Amino acid sequence: MSAALAEVPGLADYNARQLALYQRHAGALPFELVHGTACAVSEVERPGTAPVTLITEFPDETVHGEAFRFAHTVQMRTVLAAVAAWQSLARA
């Protein structure tokens, strides 16, 4: 899934800048990087809920114009990649 995100124009550079800021202020990364995208996987038992939950983080609350379109594209491509990955697993 993160390989598909690496294809989003500008995302790799954006992530690199955000990760550098994070490290400058918070130190070592507490998560894994996969294709330059921060990833964390956890298992939580919640009977009666969806088998998988995708949580994304993107600082999109205060952006407008081109920055908003970029944020929307990243979120959209993330969901599409997750659906493709899930369908691939379901067929296996």
Residue 92: predicted pLDDT = 72
Mean pLDDT of 55-84: 89
Fill in the DSSP letter of residue 39.
E
- Segments making up each domain of the chain, as ranges: 2-86
- Whether residue 3 contacts residue 88, with contact meaning beta carbons closer than 8 Å, is answered with no
Of the candidates 51, 28, 46, the residue with the CA atom closest to the CA atom of residue 38 = 28
| Locus of tokens 């956890």 | 42
Q: Which amino acid belongs to residue 56?
A: T
Instruction: Note the pLDDT tens digit of each residue in 28-49.
Output: 999 899 988 888 888 888 888 8
- Whether residue 32 contacts residue 39, with contact meaning beta carbons closer than 8 Å, is answered with yes
pTM for the whole thing?
0.80
